[in-house]
Amino acid sequence: MPVLLASGNDRRRNDSRFEFISAAPDKILRANGDTTVIEFLDGTTRVSHGNPLDILAAEFPLTPNSKPEEAFPFTGGAIGFFGYELLHLWHRIAANQQRDIDLPDMLVGFYSWVLVIDHQEQCCNLIIQDDCPDTTRRAVKEAFTQSRGQTSGKFNLTGKFISNFSRDEYQKAYQQVIDYIHAGDCYQVNLTQRFSAPCSGDPCTAFTRLQTIAKAPFAAFMEDGEQAVLSFSPERFIQVKDCQVMTQPIKGTRPRDSDPIIDLHNRTELETSLKDRAENLMIVDLMRNDLGRICSTSSIAVPDLFETQSFTNVHHLVSTITGSLKNAQDVFALLKAGFPGGSITGTPKIRAMEIINELETVMRSVYCGAFAWIDLTGNMDSNICIRTLVKDKGSIHCWGGGGVVADSIGEQEYQETLDKISLFMDALKADF
């Protein structure tokens, strides 16, 4: 089960210095609903029932007093994805859609070795933990000492992307959200459409090609048999470093333009938009509440509000909320309290999720969930799986969405869903 955590190597960003590669985990957790299958290296399995995040905490006991390698943020531990619907059972949200993508709700591997790519020092470091199984240790060393010829896989679409919503169907769902807002059910709902196309070839080739274009700071790739997740996320979900917590929700979007005058106009329009600032502030308040359920009393702060960040295809408004954990073990409770991220649900969170479940016709799967690493000391970093594609056997799926508020305009919201993902769909149409 190979995995790559990529950062875009953008020297303008402080969080794009390191990238991580690993494979052959010592143990794998696959969760669907309240059932988690635990697979061991020797091929044996065990089944546990309950909340998957509680099972993850039990299967991955921390050693917070151990001293991590200070030169690198991550040197091994748990890596995996958490699908958007992972906690629906515990939020009492009924499953209205058919599971037409055959990925688990949670897929996490425990990796005892990692290749750390350091873009600042322009070097690679192979780190193998002391408890790495001998068979894995030998296989890793052999893989990195043998000379291998370069191979270039191919990835192609074999048909067109088709949305689960027509433009008219999207507008109908959008109007239903507006009606719920006017009725006082909610203040904001993230409404999404999914595009699917038949495909063939190597998904890692597609990931490499798309990340070269996107340069996403929180990108991730994981392959498991005929399934793969290709995430090009610009958004951090939750970071924990020495019990210090940070989340950076995105709300507010404008497209980039090759004309610098138009591009600056779009950025300025975003920065001065009262609607986008209000939308962002709603999510800041939601995330302050989510973090406050676990973090120490009075530790919650908002050091950055409405910061503009520019990416390959869009400008975004990004805010930063911080807090402090009392204990390293609280990282699992924090993940549970904040999941799924408020920027991709709406406010209030549970009611917004119920409306999403009613109006969207297909499951989100990994999209709008999270991809994360957690090390043995309780440090963690994670993304929100937006700008994320899922390959499931002979199909590839991608989603585009946006937050709908009372003063939204339906056609503009529809166009925003396209602006966010057209870069990836257009690139996949090219012959690579």
Domain span including residue 240: 3-429
Bridging pattern class, strands 123-128 and 155-157 = unpaired
**How many Å separate Cα 41 from the centre of its chain?**
27
Closest CA to 370 of 193, 106, 23, 102: 106
CATH code of 150's domain: 3.60.120.10
Count of beta carbons in the 10 Å neighbourhood of residue 131: 9
- Tens digits of per-residue pLDDT, 159-212? 999 999 999 999 999 999 999 999 999 999 999 999 999 999 999 999 999 999
AA identity, residue 327: N
Residue-wise burial string across 61-95, b where 16 or more C-beta atoms lie within 10 A, e elsewhere: ebeeeeebeeebbbbbbbbbbbbbbbbbeeeebee
E strand segments, 95-217? 106-111, 113-118, 123-128, 155-157, 162-163, 188-201
Residue 307 exposed, middle or buried by CB count within 10 Å (0-12, 13-18, 19+):
middle
Q: Which residue matches tokens 């790495």? A: 132
Catalytic residue check, 235: yes
- pLDDT tens, residue order, the chain (432 aa): 999 999 876 666 667 789 999 999 999 999 999 999 999 988 899 999 999 999 999 999 898 776 656 678 999 999 999 999 999 999 999 877 778 898 999 999 999 999 999 888 888 899 999 889 999 999 888 888 876 655 567 899 999 999 999 999 999 999 999 999 999 999 999 999 999 999 999 999 999 999 999 889 999 999 999 999 999 999 999 999 999 999 999 888 888 888 999 999 999 999 999 988 988 998 999 999 999 999 998 999 999 999 998 887 788 899 999 999 999 999 999 999 999 999 999 999 999 999 999 999 999 999 999 999 999 999 999 999 999 999 999 999 999 999 999 999 999 999 989 988 998 999 998 654
Catalytic residue, from 19, 85, 223, 235: name it: 235
Catalytic residue, from 251, 336, 349, 420: name it: 251
Catalytic residue check, 251: yes
Domain count of the chain?
1
- The pTM of this model reads 0.92
